[in-house]
Structure 1
Amino acid sequence: MGDRSRAGRAAYAVVPVVVALAHIGPAATWLPGLRRRWFPGLAGQGRPDHVALTFDDGPDPASTPHFLDALDGLGVRATFFLLGERVVRHPALAREVALRGHELAVHGWTHERPWRPSPGRDARELRRAVHAVGEAAGRNRPHWYRPPYGILTSGRWAAARRAGLRPVLWTAWGEDWRRDATPDSVRATVAADLRGGGTILLHDTDHASAPDSWRAALGALPHLVAHCHATGLAVGPLSEHAVAGTDGPEKRG
């Protein structure tokens, strides 16, 4: 009986470890090299003559309008990954993003790290976010999902699938959330990894970043767009990017 009891306790102790690994294992796709090599669609790799421009964490009335004006001046449209709770707080601004011709996508309900498995909560919160973003987008139901911090857990994968969303991360980012970010540092960091077919991640708010860090991204934006155009690359939203594994967002009524 003693051996059986010890074996039972050992097996019981292993269960939480297995559950935790199953939960967080997919988050390995956060690693850029792994993602680009083995999961090009998840990385946002698209048509080679195009670059997808994306922004996370908004909407934010203190900063998002500056990005909308800058993008208007540049004649460029982008994809904005919005947080559901921010959309509910600033619905008119979320609608304005869509009315300016930009694509709305889902960034979750709040900007949290998902260390503990909670598939039920993941599903509920993503449904709420899809509804909020969909209301702001009008007839164009959101198609894309990028989890906060780019951390995809098994629960988030399953929730996105049930919600009819396609997860997409990025191939190049600006590290524009840092306290020491500048327009030059953002531009150089993006350029180091940017190739035709890539997806750029920037932030139109400091909601989950260092205070006022959004100004570095805003200052870098004209230079990034000019660099792409000078190298023959069009810049636009994910809906025009033909992400690997799809011809684009599904048509929805």
Structure 2
Amino acid sequence: MNAGSTLRPLRVTAAALLLGSALSAAAACGDDALGTARVLTLPREAAAYGRMQHAPLPLQPDEVVITFDDGPRPESTPLVLKALRAECVRATFFMVGEPMRAHAALAREVKAQGHSVGVHGWRHEHFAALTEAAQLADLRALEAAYREVLGGTAPAYRFPFLEETPFLRGALAASRTTVMSVDLGVEDWEPQTAQQMADKLTQRLAASRGGIVLLHDAQDRTAAALPLLLRTIKAHGYRVVHLQWADEPPASGLKSSGG
């Protein structure tokens, strides 16, 4: 299956339910909401995306994919979900295994609200400092946590600190797991105001003309700044693309902003 911007076919009754859900969500968000322009469905394969390290996603100019790392965290992830819900935006969350298992209900809520979930290490280790056996143990613990909390296997993996190792790349390729890097970020782990984050986002999106945006739902400042960041994306005419993988059910309740 080729990567593309199509949803899998639905039966008539399911399509009717999806349409009703989408209309309800659009009404709840309002006409000024940022919305989600389209869904990009990727195959389950050993691909690698993100211009910082790999090939670009098949995006059009001025399209963005919003991603979050390091959660779930009860103090901040619900605020991130609230901001996304208010704008009818779908994102991809790369969860760390230990908090995923510790806050399983919150992890399931992220998925239930239509977001895609990938993984980001069991303990967020510097893999370059670990033996291959330790790297594999981290991956296996992470896989077990995902199965326990969400079922099945994670479709995508982002390396902690973006520190990829050939050994783990090989292990992920064997399970047809997509490696996801980034195109730009705003260093939201550093002390700064919401406006400073928004200014960085504006400058970097202008330079890249869109791409994979890295944020962190485990950061209080990010949760507080997210409404402004989403408004900034809309104000400059960028369109949100939601990633999902071929064996995932279609996200429901999307408010389309065109495309």
Fold conserved between structures, TM > 0.5: yes
| Greater share of residues in helix | 1
Give the conservation status (yes or no) of the 8 Å contact 2:75–2:220.
Answer: no
Give identity over the alignment, percent: 35
Task: After TM superposition, give the deviation of residue 196 of structure 1 in Å.
Answer: 4.0
1:202 aligns with 2:207: no
Distance in 2 of aligned mates of 1:197 and 1:138: 32
Aligned length: 199
Distance in 2 of aligned mates of 1:145 and 1:135: 17
Tell me: CA distance 1:232–1:185, structure 2 relative to 1, closer, same or farther (3 Å). closer
Residue pairs, 1:71-220, within 5 angstroms:
71-138=84-151, 141-178=153-190, 180-194=191-205, 195-205=208-218, 214-220=219-225
Gaps of at least 5 residues in structure 1 are 1-28, 206-213, 240-248
The equivalent of 1:238 in structure 2 is 243
- Deviations for 1:167-204, whole angstroms, at most 9, x for unmatched residues? 111111111101x2221121122222224440111111
Which amino acid is the alignment partner of residue 251 of structure 1?
D
Tell me: CA distance 1:174–1:45, structure 2 relative to 1, closer, same or farther (3 Å). farther
**Normalized against structure 1, the TM-score is what?**
0.70
Give the conservation status (yes or no) of the 8 Å contact 1:84–1:132.
Answer: yes
Tell me: CA distance 1:250–1:121, structure 2 relative to 1, closer, same or farther (3 Å). farther
Give the conservation status (yes or no) of the 8 Å contact 2:79–2:224.
Answer: no
- Please give the secondary structure, in 2, of the residue aligned with 1:185: helix
**With CA pairs under 8 Å and 6+ residues apart, which has the higher RCO, 1 or 2?**
2
- Please give the secondary structure, in 2, of the residue aligned with 1:110: coil
Which amino acid is the alignment partner of residue 134 of structure 2?
R
Give the conservation status (yes or no) of the 8 Å contact 1:108–1:147.
Answer: yes
Task: After TM superposition, give the deviation of residue 138 of structure 1 in Å.
Answer: 4.1
Give the conservation status (yes or no) of the 8 Å contact 1:174–1:202.
Answer: yes
Which amino acid is the alignment partner of residue 116 of structure 1?
A
**Normalized against structure 2, the TM-score is what?**
0.68
1:55 aligns with 2:41: no
Distance in 1 of aligned mates of 2:248 and 2:80: 28
Give the conservation status (yes or no) of the 8 Å contact 2:198–2:232.
Answer: no
Gaps of at least 5 residues in structure 2 are 1-47, 250-259
- Please give the secondary structure, in 1, of the residue aligned with 2:149: helix
| Greater share of residues in strand | 2
